[in-house]
Homo-oligomer: A and B are copies of this chain.
Amino acid sequence: MSQIKPTSTNFSNKTALSDECPEAYASSIIGGQWTLVICSWLLSGKLRFGELKKRLPNITERMLTLQLRKLEQNKIVSRVVYAEVPPRVEYELTSIGYALQPVIKELEKWGESHKQLTNE
């Protein structure tokens, strides 16, 4: 599922940074292009795959799946499959997932003020 090479310089650099530097570690986990937006939506409650897709109009199903899988691996979201047809799958933040709230709030605040600054 993952196509990363454990022998690459890139990989060992990331690993070393993550080891020494918790903010780099955090960024490597939530730094994907769609990750924060997904988590933002999930902060207001669990959502089905299709509901997430609707809220992220430009994401492909492939990317949504990949991001959700990564979030699941990192224990940030939980995935519940109902034995129905057509299938129903619900995604919900775990407690460490909900703990992202203050991080996201600070990022938002900073983002807003940076945007304002550079629009002058």
CB nearest neighbor in B for A23? B107
Residues of B within 8 A of A22 (CB): 107-109, 111-112, 115
What is the CA–CA distance of A74 and B113 in the complex, to the nearest angstrom?
A: 12
B96 touches A103 (CB 8 A): no
Alpha-carbon distance between A97 and B96 when the two chains are bound, in angstroms: 28
The reply to whether B106 and A75 contact each other, CB–CB distance below 8 Å, is: no
Query: Is A37 in contact with chain B by the CB < 8 A criterion?
Result: yes
The answer to whether A50 has its CB under 8 Å from any CB of chain B is no
List residues of chain B with CB within 8 A of the CB of A37: 17, 21, 23-24
Give 1 or 0 for each of A31-42: 1 = CB within 8 Å of chain B CB.
101101100100
